[in-house]
Amino acid sequence: MQLTLENPKNTKSDKPPYSRTNPFQAKVLKNINLNGACSSKETRHIELSLKDSGLSYNPGDALGIVPSNDPELVASILKEMGWEEETVVTVGKQGEALSLKEALTNYTEITLISKKILQQAAAFTENEELQKLVLVENADQLKEYCYGRDLLDMLRDFGPWKASAQEIVSMLRKMTPRLYSIASSIAANPDEVHLTIGAVRYTSHGRDRKGVCSVLCAERVREGDTLPVYVQANKHFHLPESQDKDIIMVGPGTGIAPFRSFIQERAVNKAAGRSWLFFGDQHAATDFLYQNELEQYQQDGVLTRIDAAFSRDTDQKVYVQHKMLEHSKELFEWIENGAYFFVCGDKERMAKDVNDALITLIEKEGSMDRDAAEAYLKDMQKQGRYLRDVY
C-alpha cells in the first residue's frame, strides 16, 4: 500500500519556503518614474505582488532582489574575448552546468572586480602592467585600479589572455542580491510590497556605467514581468511598539522609502502619536517624491508636519540638516517628550550631517556643552530612540 503525503509546503502553518537562496518570483504590478520630466534623477516606484508567496514583512524591513546583468555588457564581454555564448561552463560548489551567456547574465558579478580577481587573472596573461600591479608593494595602485572598473575593463586592459571561458568564470564572485528598504505597509497593501529605487548611472574611466539592479528595474522590467525577491528582516529599524509615541523621520531622496511604510502603517492603526517628516531632494517641482500622497496624509492628520529642503532651488544649498536646525526648538521639545528619531539614506554625507546637526541642536536647546550633547544622543541610542538605516 502506498501512502500519498500532502506537500508540506502547502500547509498554512509552515513558514514560506522562499528565502535568499530560494527567492519568490514576484509579479510587477506597477513600475513608474516618480520624478518630473526635467529632473536629472530617475526614481522608480515599483509595486510587486506577494500573492501566494506566504511572505510577510514589517515596516522597516528590506526586500532583497536577485538581479541579472545588463545584456549589452554581457555581449561586450563575449565579443571582447571571442567567446561563443553557448559554451558550457560550470558554476558554484555543486558544479552546475550553464551556458556561458547564462552564467555571465544571471550567476556572476561582472560589474565589480577585486584584488583577488586581478591576482588570479595575472596567471593567465603575460601583460607586464598587470604583473607589476599585483606586486605586494603596489597594493594601493591595485586598490585604486579596482575602484569604478569592471570585468570588461580588466579584459580590455590586460590581454592577450591565455584563459578559457571556464577559467575566467571560476574567478568571478556569485551575484549578490541587492537590498532595498520596503516602501509600503502590508496592512495597507495586503499581498503587495512597494519599493522606491533610484536608478544609478554614471561615467567612469571613459565608459558609461549602470547600477546592476536599479537600471534593470528602470530600463528592462515591465509591468507583468517577475522579479526574484525575498524579505530581509531589519530588527534595528522599526516603529515604536506604542502607537502613542511621537516619531521624527529624516529621509531625503530614496531615504523616504521606509517612512512611507511607517506612515501607511500608522494610518491603518490610527496611531495617536504625532509624526514629523523631513524630506529633501534637488528641485521641488520635479523631485518631491510622493508629494500628493504625503500632503494628503498631512490633511488627514496622519502626518503632523512635513519640512522639505530642495538644495538646487536656492542660491545657498539647503539640506535636511538645515531644516532641522531651523526648527531646533520644537525638535528638541519633541525629543524631550520621548520622540523616536529615524534617519534613512546616504551614509557617507547625509547621515553624518544629520548626526552633527542633532548634536548641535541638543547642545543649543538643552543648554549643554558638546560632550554632554553627544552623551545625550548616545543615551537616546541606548534607549532605542535614535535609529538609522543608512547605506
User: In terms of domains, do 105 and 126 share one?
Assistant: yes
Mode of pairing for the β-strands spanning 62-65 and 96-99: unpaired
| Boundary of a domain, candidates 148, 171, 194 | 171
Q: Are residues 365 and 227 located together in one domain of the fold?
A: no
Answer whether residue 1 is part of any domain: no
For 198, the domain range is 17-66+178-232
In this prediction, the residues of the chain whose per-residue pLDDT falls under 50 are 1-13
CA distance linking residue 16 with residue 23, whole number of Å: 10
Specify whether the CB–CB gap between 240 and 340 falls below 8 A. yes
CA–CA separation, 273 and 242 (whole Å): 8
Query: Which candidate, 162, 161, 168, 194, places its Cα nearest to that of 180?
Result: 194
| 59 domain residue, yes or no | yes
- Beta-strand ranges (E) seen in the chain are 24-33, 43-49, 62-65, 88-91, 96-99, 178-181, 192-198, 201-204, 207-210, 226-232, 247-250, 275-281, 305-310, 340-345, 386-390
Is residue 109 assigned to a domain?
A: yes
C-alpha cell read off for 323: 531644516
- Do 58 and 193 fall into the same domain? yes
Residues 34 and 61 occupy one common structural domain: yes
Burial class (CB in 10 A: 0-12, 13-18, 19+), 264: buried
Amino acid at 212: V
End of a domain among 171, 197, 224?
171
26: nearest Cα among 224, 233, 232: 224
Give me the half-sphere count of Cα atoms (radius 13 Å) on the Cβ side of residue 312.
Answer: 11
Residues 289 and 352 in one domain: yes
Please tell me whether residues 108 and 223 are part of one structural domain. Answer: no
> What distance in Å separates the CA atoms of residue 89 and residue 102, rounded to the nearest whole number?
9
Same domain, yes or no: 105 and 209: no
Provide the CATH number for the domain around residue 165.
1.20.990.10
Q: Please report, for residues 49, 225, 268, 327, the alpha-carbon distance to residue 189 in angstroms, rounded to integers and kept in the order given.
A: 10, 20, 10, 34
Per-residue pLDDT reduced to its tens digit, 9-53: 444 445 668 999 999 999 999 999 999 999 999 999 999 999 999
pLDDT at residue 17 in the model = 87
| pLDDT for the residue 14 | 58
Residue 9 located in a structural domain = no
Are 314 and 368 contained in the same domain?
yes
The residue from 209, 232, 255 where one domain ends is: 232
2 domain residue, yes or no: no
My answer on whether 190 and 157 are in the same domain is no
Look up the CATH number of the domain holding residue 359. Answer: 3.40.50.80
If one counts the domains in the chain, the total is 3
In a domain, 237, yes or no: no
> In this structure, is residue 5 part of a structural domain?
no
- Helix H or strand E segment including 329: helix 328-336
Residue 207 sits in a domain of what CATH number?
Answer: 2.40.30.10
Same domain for 62 and 199? yes
Q: What is the pLDDT of residue 5?
A: 42
Q: Do 163 and 203 sit in the same domain of this protein?
A: no
Position 202, amino acid? Y
pLDDT at residue number 6: 45
- Does the residue 305 lie in any domain? yes
What is the model's pLDDT at position 293? Answer: 98
211-267 confidence digits (pLDDT tens) = 999 999 999 999 999 999 999 999 999 999 999 999 999 999 999 999 999 999 999
Per-residue pLDDT at 16: 61
User: Are residues 369 and 303 part of one domain?
Assistant: yes
